[in-house]
Structures are given as C-alpha cells and as structure tokens.
Structure 1
Amino acid sequence: MSITLDKDTDTATLPERIRRFPFPFLGDQYRYSANVEPANKNVPTDAGAWGAGLIDIDEFYHKELADREAILARDPSRMAVLPHMRPAVWDTIATLLPAMAAEYPDIMSFHREGNACRWQNKLQDLDVQFTVGDDDSLPTGPLRFLGTQIQDDIVLLDIRDNTMWLDAGLVTFAADWSFNFDVGMSFLEIHGPVPRVKEENIISRAEQFLMRLQPGEQFRRTNWTMTVGNRLDTSTETYPEWGPDRGTIATDPDMPDKLHLRVEVQHLIRLPHTGVLLFLIRSYLLPLRDIAKVPTWRQKFGHVLAELPDDMAEYKGIIRYRKAASDWLLAG
C-alpha cells in the first residue's frame, strides 16, 4: 500500500532510492543524541520504509563495491587489522554472512560444517569455500573479502582497560574523517572534536551503553551530514577533491541537484565469540531535488538547517551553504 503525499503524488511513483532512504528527522530541530534503538526493525517514513534487515543491498551495490576496490587500490591505508584483532575479523564474517543468506535467500547462501564454509553470492556469480581462522583460505584475506560483499564500512572496537579502542576496520566511505589517523585511538579520543557531546555527556553515556552490550546483541543509530556531489568518499585524505566545493555550492544554480543529504545507518553489534564491538556504517546520499519530492521531508529538513546552532553547522562543514539550502527547501 502506498502513502499519499499530495493530490498528485504517492509513494508508488517515487524512485526506489527515495522510498528506501533512511530520512533521519522526526521534527524541525536536531541535536546530538545517542538515538540508539534495536536493529532489524522496519521504520516507516513518509516516502516508504527502511531498516527491516541488518545488511541493506540496493540498486547501488555493484557501483559502490567497484568504488571501494578503486579506493583501496589507490590507498591501502583505508584498511587495517592490528594482529590481536584477527579472531574478531573472522567472528564478523561468521556473523554477517549467515545473516545475509537469511535475509536474501534467493541470491545468497551460506553453509558451515565445523570451520569449513561455503559462500555463494549470485549477484557476483561467486561460489567460494574457505576455512574460518585461515587467512590464506581467502585470496584477499578475510576483511578485504568481506568488503567485497557488503556496502557498509566496517569498524572493529576492542574492549580493554575499561574503554574501547579502534583496532581494525575497512573504511572507504568516511565522511570528513580519517580511518587511518584514528586506528589505535580510544572511543573518547575519536569523538573528542565533536561539539557539545562532552559537555552534554553524550559520548561517555554512549560508551557505557556499548560496553554493556551482551554478545550477539544488535542495535543501530543514524547520523547525518551533507555532501556536495554524489560521492561517498569524503575522507580527509581526499579533501582537496571535494573541500573547495563547499565554498561555491551556495551560489551554484545546480545546487538542488549537487547538494546531498548524507545519512549513515550505524549498526552496533557485540560479536558473539570475541566480544569485540562491530560498527557497520552504511551511507546513503539523496540530493535536495529528491528530498523536495516528499513535502514533509522538504519542510523538516529546511527547518532543521535553519535552526541548527552555528557550532554544529561548522563541525558538519555545512555552515557556508546551509542557509542557501534551507531557503531553497522552504521556498516550496
């Protein structure tokens, strides 16, 4: 059943990229919060729905995986595994591949007997056998292999000394941060630059919540920013390629098509065997032009941008164009 948007439009006429988009705003204001909820719960929106499963495979699957391969070929530092995290990488594979096979039984399958596994992915005409714990049983190694199967970025946090440490991951689609710079840092060190979160005790509360997760538990949250151009790789390493566009987009007549709302759906999973915390970061882009096709989204996002405090707008890198974006959205 479709939802009526106005007298001329309903959700059935909207492209899939809009109907599946995880629009993050419930009201006309935004402030930092943990906004954590249980995973695997369908979330209806004014355009459709999102979030029914753990791993989302959409129309951009092949393109995004090809982008990831190109990024890793240029910059291998986007992947790192400290030696003590090898078991956690295999724990991640043993957790995610069965979940994907259960969620997409027509195109994926996973069979395991002891440590011997067989993974089939019809989207890639792939049929591979490997042994859990044997890095050489996968030609590219386990973490790189997993990065060829899911669109999500992967971050693994070890828990020791009463805190969490970013000790492994594969991150090709960072939003204005550097995975390579953060490897080896603690959870609090990584989030230190975020305005307001220290004063409002958000990060320490989030850390305590995450460390209390039990093995196998799965939660999620959303985060958002804006991106000029349809590109997921806005890491600090590539800033010269996209940073200057922030200063010109406000006066660009093509702003509604070039300026995107970027939403991350972050899954938070306590791995069942190693107890390591797995962060999956799935990023979505939608241009203002598409957002405006859903009247409630147009209004909410316009008001959020207009009301957002300057320090938060500065941190998100949107302060130079957020008024132009808000004005366009609210002009209706």
Structure 2
Amino acid sequence: MPVTLKPLESYRDDFTFRNSPEAIARFPFPFPEDQYMYSVNIEPATPGAPGSIYEHWFDIDEHYRSETTERAKVLQKDPQRCIVMPHMHEACWDTLEVIMTHLAADYPELFRLTRDGDQWTWENHVQDIRQSFTFGDADTLPYEPLEYIGRQVQGDFALLDQRDNDLFMDAGIVTGPADWSLAFDAGMSFKQWHSPVPMAHELGVFDRALKYLLNIQVDRPVRRLNWTMTINPRLDTSSETFHEWGRERGMVTPENVGRLVHLRVELQFMARLARSNALMFSIRTYLISLEELVTNPAWAQRLHRVLRDLPQALADYKGLSRYRQTVVDWLRQYDPEAAA
C-alpha cells in the first residue's frame, strides 16, 4: 500500500504536528485491558495486516518528512545523539544493510537499492538522495553508516553487543527518547539501563526479558509496545533537553488538556544482525493527542480506567503525576460507567 506523505510539520516551537484520520486509525493503542501492569509483553514480529504498523520491519508513515527533518535538527545541535564504540562498526554496517534492504523491498516507490558485489547505490526519492558507495568503507559515505541510514528512517536505534550472557548498549542513534539519554546509557548492561523502572525488578520482568532476548535468532525478530505521555507533540524529550520540556508538565489545565497531552507509544522491535550477532533495538515512536484519541470511544473509555487505576510508582516513573488527575477528570466524560 503506497504511503501518502504529509507536508512538513513541526515537533517543536509552534507544534504543527497532527494526525490524519488514517494515522489515528492505525495508531498502536497499547492497552489490551482496563488495567496496566509492567510486563515483558514480547511477541514474535510476524507481518501484520496490510497498512498496519506491523506490516513491515520498518514503518514509514505520513510523518516521514517531519520526523527525519526533526532528527537532522537534533543531530546538528547535539552530535552525541549518535554514538558508536569501536567494536560496533560491523554492527552498524549490518544495520545499514538490513534497513536499506527492507525499505527498498517494502516501499519501492520511495527507496531503491542496487548492489553489485560491494558496490552499492542507494536512492531515497523523498530526500532526493542518490548515493553510490562501497559497502564496508565508511569513507565512501557522507556520514558513518549508522548515522547515514539513521537520518533516513523513522525511529531511534540502539545496537546491543551480546557478551558475557548480557546485552550492552554500545552504539545507537537516538534523537527522540522518552526521558533518557544515549550518552548516559552508552556502555551499560541491560539491567543497568533499566534500573530506574519501578516494580518490574521485583516481579522478575527483566530477568525473563533478558533471557528471551539473548536467544533471538536471525530472521526471527520480536516486538513489544511501551507507552508514556508527553506534553505537546514533542519527539525529543531527552534528559539533555529536560530544561526545555520539563516545565510543560505544569501547563496542563482542564481547558487545554485535550490539545496538550499526548499518548506516546513506542513500537520496540528487536532483530538479530547476521554478521555481527549484535541485537538491533529499534524504537518507533507514535504520538496522538487526547483530542484525536477520543475520536475512538473504546480507547477513550479504556485510557480513563488505566490512568485512574495506575499504581502511583508507575505514574511517578512515567512523569505523569503532575497532570494525571486532570487527564483522568477530563476522560471521565468518555467512560459511560464513570460519567453516569
């Protein structure tokens, strides 16, 4: 199904980002039940229905121009959003190959890849790019391979080196994180970078998740959904820019809650890389305002119940505490049982 790309919108300053009705319909609403508890919730990443976010390995949607433009702005201001440790160069070429191969196969109207041995030509029709290069030779690209392809695909990427029965975040390009920092987490083990998450450690969630991830095989990717909330449609809610967005949590009122508060859902996709044996961990972020979300009555009702009953420790961890009650009060009107 061909992708219809929207004109450029912004994830900062005037915040012109909006979802079309089609984007709302395919939004990955993350709650299968009326209550939420942190869990592993990993499943095989089998191809989904045509047009869904699960159809392909890498989802390209109407916001492609806007999101890649936002990434370029972040990287220009802070080059440390792309970090590669010396032993991860092969994994970066692995990642470039996987992304180019899938984009060209899944979106032939947007991308094309021609290979003749190690002489490759990559075409990105949206960004007007035609680049011939030698696979494995970074000097033949304008950027290092991870940054080069990362600038042309939606979502963040962390590359995890597997050693000593653990996973280490030793490379990545991360310009739109949900209140974390690649520069801070780089080199950490799986449990170290997840250490701030409440309750999950006591439940043994990360022990089970790590065991599962260590055994992922090539061509057997897995996925899961994660969620939080963001004020304004702001992609870059990194620790480094907290001074720019943290204060916005105090701006929510009963009058503006539907416009300002956004549900932020991450489609986390994990695939084994064939050459390097590293694990590619992609984080594809979707944003939807509450005004857009409540156009689906079932979503509105369920989100009211999830947020109303969310354990306080999880609300604090996700940064919702300052405005959660305002959101719950506003959503109550969409829950027939609560509004009665």
Unmatched segments (≥5 aa) in structure 1: 1-13
Amino acid at match of 1:212: N
Distance 1:313 1:43 in 2: 33
Corresponding letter in the other structure for 1:19: A
1:141 is aligned to 144
1:219 positional shift: 1.0
Retained in 1: the 8 A contact 2:254–2:326?
no
The aligned residue for residue 31 of structure 1 is 37
The alignment partner of 1:97 has SS state of: helix
Correspondence list, 1:49-88, <5 A: 49-88=52-91
1:10-44 C-alpha deviation (Å, 9 max, x unpaired): xxxx7122012111111111111111112243269
In the alignment, the residues of structure 2 paired with residue 330 and residue 138 of structure 1 have an alpha-carbon distance, to the nearest angstrom, of 53
- The equivalences for 1:100-249 within 5 A come to 100-249=103-252
Provide TM-score, normalisation by structure 1.
0.92
> Hey, what's the Cα distance between the residues in 2 that align with 1:72 and 1:105?
27
Q: Which residue of 1 aligns with 2:327?
A: 325
Cα distance in 2 for partners of 1:306, 1:130 equals 54
Give the CA RMSD over aligned residues.
Answer: 1.4
Aligned length: 315
Please say if 1:256 is aligned against 2:262.
no
Please tell me the residue identity of whatever aligns with 1:321. Y
Q: 2:270 aligns with which of 268, 277, 285?
A: 268
The AA in structure 2 aligned to 1:231 is R
Superposition deviation, residue 102 in structure 1: 1.1
Question: Once the two structures are superposed, what CA deviation does each residue of 1:39-61 show, in whole Å capped at 9, x if it has no partner?
Answer: 243269xxx84311111111111
CA distance in 2, matches of 1:248, 1:43: 39
Q: Which residue of 1 aligns with 2:8?
A: none
% of aligned pairs identical? 46
Does the CA contact (< 8 Å) of 2:257 and 2:330 recur in 1?
Answer: no
- 1:287 pairs, out of 286, 289, 299, with 289
Change in CA separation of 1:49 and 1:99 when aligned onto 2, cut-off 3 Å: closer
Q: Unaligned 5+ residue runs, structure 2?
A: 1-19, 335-340
Q: Distance in 2 between matches of 1:232 and 1:252?
A: 23
1:23 and 1:196 mapped to 2: Cα distance? Answer: 23
What secondary structure, in the 3-state scheme, does the structure 2 residue paired with 1:50 have? coil
Give the TM-score normalised by the residue count of structure 2.
0.90
